[in-house]
Amino acid sequence: MNQNDNNPGTNDVAVKDRLLSTARAAGEKAYAPYSHYHVGAAVLTEDGEIVSGCNVENASYGLTNCAERTAIFKAVSSGARKIRAIAIAGPEGGSPAYPCGACRQVIAEFADTADIPIYVSTGSDSFEAYTLAELLPKGFVL
C-alpha cells in the first residue's frame, strides 16, 4: 500500500473511510449498460462536504462521463471551487480503478494543492493512496 498521505486534515481516518465508503456506494448508481464497469467516486470539498458521483455512459461511447468527473462537476456546480481529496472505487475483484488521464487533469483543475490525496479502493476494506502530483506529474496549466 502506498501511503503518501501528507495533507493534514484530509488524512483523518474517519474522513478517508467516509470518502471510500461513499465512493463504493456511489458505484451502485452507475449507468454503465455498455461496459458493465461500475465506478463510484467521492470528493471532499473545501467546506468539508462529501459529494459522490458515478460513471454515466452513452450509446455514443465518447460522451461517457467518468465517476470522478461526475463527482467533481456536481461539487463545482453546487458552488465548490476546491477539492481536498478524492476516492475512487471500481468493481470489487478487478484491478483498482485508477483515474484516467482526462480525470487526472480535471482533478488538477480543482485540487486545493498538488498534494491532495487520491484514494483508490482495492477491496471492501482496503485502498491505495497517492498524491495528485504522483499521478499527474507536470499536468497542463495555463
Q: Annotated active-site positions, please?
A: 68
b/e map 30-39, b = 16+ CB within 10 Å: bebeeeeebb
The residue from 9, 92, 100, 101 that contacts ligand THU (CB under 6 A) is 100
Q: Which is nearer to ligand THU, 3 or 35 (CB)?
A: 35
Q: Rounded to whole angstroms, how far apart are CA atoms 19 and 22?
A: 5
- By CB under 6 A, residue 102 contacts ligand THU: no
Q: Which is nearer to ligand THU, 44 or 66 (CB)?
A: 66
Q: Rounded to whole angstroms, how far apart are CA atoms 117 and 31?
A: 26
Binding pattern for the stretch 20-59 against ligand THU, x by CB under 6 A and - elsewhere:
------------x--x-x-x---------------x-x--
Q: Which is nearer to ligand THU, 66 or 87 (CB)?
A: 66
Q: Rounded to whole angstroms, how far apart are CA atoms 68 and 89?
A: 10
| Residue 142 Cα to chain centre, angstroms | 23
The residue from 87, 103, 111, 116 that contacts ligand THU (CB under 6 A) is 103
In the region spanning residues 66 to 95, those forming contacts with ligand THU, defined by CB under 6 A, are: 66-68
- By CB under 6 A, residue 64 contacts ligand THU: yes
Kindly state the smallest distance separating residue 100's Cβ from ligand THU, in Å.
Answer: 5
Which residues here bind ligand THU, judged by CB under 6 A? 32, 35, 37, 39, 55, 57, 64, 66-68, 97, 99-100, 103
